[in-house]
Amino acid sequence: MSGIGILGVGHCVPKKVLTNHDLEKMVDTTDEWILTRTGIKERRIAGKHEKNSDLATGAAREALKQANLNAHDVELIIVATISPDSNFPSVACLVQKALGAKKAAAFDIGAACSGFLYAMTTAKQFLQSGMYQNALVIASEKITSLIDWNDRSTCVLFGDGAGACVLGPVRGKRGIISEFMHAQGNFGDLMAVVFEDGEPLSQQNKTIAKPFVVMQGQELFKIAVNSMAAAVEQAIKKAKLKLEDIDLVVPHQANDRIISAVAKKLKVPKEKIFVNIDRYGNMSAASIAVALYEAVVQGRIKKGDNVALVTFGAGLVSAANIIKW
């Protein structure tokens, strides 16, 4: 039986760049604070009329082109997002319409920053079971629509964007060779979307206020480091590999200090870790999808490489996949 692997990747980010210097004019912050505490220099911001589904569709088109797959032949579309255009229709259905992928089943997955790996693992099960022959997996966020632009502790961290991949059968011992997913719902209140009165999203207060992200950064930081390191170890063990066998680690890009701490904990040299947070900030589910895209197009991933993808996010949820490229 052949494996399930990535046949093409794509990305789409808004044109508008918001730099740390721009943020200095908006809240009480400095380029120096943001850069040293997070590694972020700038991020992309979707315009008022630029929807999550537009970014998702852009990323999907590029991935389909790379995979040489016609939209009419797509059988499954899964979009990982926590910032959809609206509660329904799903972003996946909006993408289906935009692409004209009439044959496909389509749905969204909400697993915050781990959404892309949760979606990839879900799609893999459908392909492995033989139910579908291919899947379009997209991670897309307009997360800045959920940001309180007066809160310096969160507004400097996030950006918008989308990444995508096409999954399908691959020959030989290639493809997604192991996966790990975990959740710690008991820590859910460390990062959440709330209203001004601190109440979570509900029908009653929906009309009077805009929801926004709140987070307890320091607590999340510690759990992020431990969870991401543990997720990589679990996935590597399942793949029957050793850490030394991994050629590149592509982690979720929440904070460059988190990435460095994970590298240190795993004893992986930083050269083996892909980082692009400086240009995009934290794009939630889309971060790892765009990082994977850039790692591929920059030639950081070559045929035969063992690649570890690892994520952590609100929920709290963590995940890791090992892919033999």
| Contacting positions for ligand UT7 (CB under 6 A) | 29, 33-34, 37-38, 113, 152-153, 156, 191, 217-218, 220-221, 224, 254-255, 258, 282, 312-313
Q: Quick one: tokens of 272? A: 């083996």
Half-sphere exposure of 259 (CA within 13 A, CB side): 27
Catalytic site residue 12? Answer: no
Are the CB atoms for 69 and 61 separated by under 8 Å?
no
Catalytic site residue 134? Answer: no
Kindly state the smallest distance separating residue 224's Cβ from ligand UT7, in Å. 4
| Torsion angle, alpha carbons of 82, 88, 91, 96, to 10 | 160
Place of tokens 């060779």: 177
CA distance 318 to 285: 11
Of the candidates 113, 134, 255, 276, the residue annotated as catalytic is: 113
Kindly state the smallest distance separating residue 174's Cβ from ligand UT7, in Å. 30
User: What single-letter DSSP state applies at residue 97?
Assistant: H
Kindly state the smallest distance separating residue 73's Cβ from ligand UT7, in Å. 34
Of the candidates 52, 255, 276, 282, the residue annotated as catalytic is: 282
Are the CB atoms for 11 and 62 separated by under 8 Å?
yes
Q: 9 — phi, psi (to 5°)?
A: -130, 155
Of 213 and 323, CB closest to ligand UT7: 213
Of 111 and 224, CB closest to ligand UT7: 224
Catalytic site residue 20? Answer: no
Kindly state the smallest distance separating residue 251's Cβ from ligand UT7, in Å. 11
Are the CB atoms for 108 and 91 separated by under 8 Å?
yes
Of 105 and 215, CB closest to ligand UT7: 215
Are the CB atoms for 317 and 223 separated by under 8 Å?
no
> Is the alpha carbon torsion for 58, 64, 68, 70 positive or negative?
negative
CA distance 17 to 43: 6
Of the candidates 52, 134, 252, 306, the residue annotated as catalytic is: 252
Kindly state the smallest distance separating residue 287's Cβ from ligand UT7, in Å. 8
The set of catalytic residues is: 113, 252, 282
